[in-house]
Amino acid sequence: MNILITGGAGFVCSHLADKLYEKKHNLFLLDNLLTGNKRNIDHLLGNENVRFIEHDVQNHIEISDEIDFIFHFASAASPIAYQENPINTLKAGSIGTINTLGLAKVKKADYLLASTSEIYGDPEVSPQSENYWGNVNPNGERSMYDEAKRFAEAATATYSRTYSLNTKVVRIFNTYGPRMQLNDGRVVTNFIVQALNNENITVYGDGLQTRSFSYVDDTVGGIIALMESDHNDVFNIGNPNEITVNELATRIISLTNSNSKLINKDLPKDDPKQRRPDITKAKNLLKWEPKIELEVGLTKTIDWVNSQL
């Protein structure tokens, strides 16, 4: 197939591109490089069936080739990145989604939207299943990302109903692994960099808030399982094994043999107290579930971060 990936030079998309390249698909990797990095895909460029397009999805997208499948991932995705680029984040989720859906309509392409666990906000239920509508502050400091993704889901559903497009939505939960930006403010990279430098590890709040972490290979496996399925629906993709932030920090200190100590700072506004996916739907319908244990994934990520420092 001819496949377009927006945000194609980003962390998750670069791993997705690797797997799709292995499957012999022709790839169009589109990215404005606001938070993506061409180094993530350098090993793919130069192949005749991989083309990089530097472009912002908030602008009209013109591709003369036939396109069979579109992955719309383009967006700043870490708190630091989307708070530093709030308008671009809003436009990537709104105008960018409309532009890519319009392209799917013209090309008669199937469409997969990368949504996020952030659409659940600070959840009042745990674990979060796909039929939970969320608890989101529409005017909060994170709203430019949360609400852009919620709009993107609404737009995708509306285009599907109106134009009979085959659309799929993946709600991605915390994902980590090689090629993450080291300064993007995400907890795994923050803790690993601080531990490797024997610096104090910054824990926001009391550290009792929980997260669940999926290694990038597992996340990409779930995305491809959805792509290759007959299901045009919304699916959580993540790892349901829940851990407190304090436990994560302690584990990383142990794996890095670090002398770091934990220090506490104020919890950012609207930071969710718990985040855990219900992946029953993905297990039953996609026959997918994560396989990589946290310590295995953390060790791989630590080795990669260490090579970048």
Q: Exposed (0-12), middle (13-18) or buried (19+): which is 173, by Cβ within 10 Å?
A: buried
Q: Is 215 a catalytic residue?
A: no
Q: Exposed (0-12), middle (13-18) or buried (19+): which is 265, by Cβ within 10 Å?
A: exposed
Helices (H) and strands (E) in the chain, counts: 10, 13
Give the integer Cα–Cα distance in Å for 248 and 9: 28
- The CA angle 95-101-102, to the nearest 5 degrees, is 90
Query: Phi then psi for 104, rounded to 5 degrees?
Result: -60, -40
Sign of CA dihedral 19, 23, 24, 30: negative
Among 145, 159, 176, 215, the active-site one is 145
Which active-site residues does the annotation give? 145
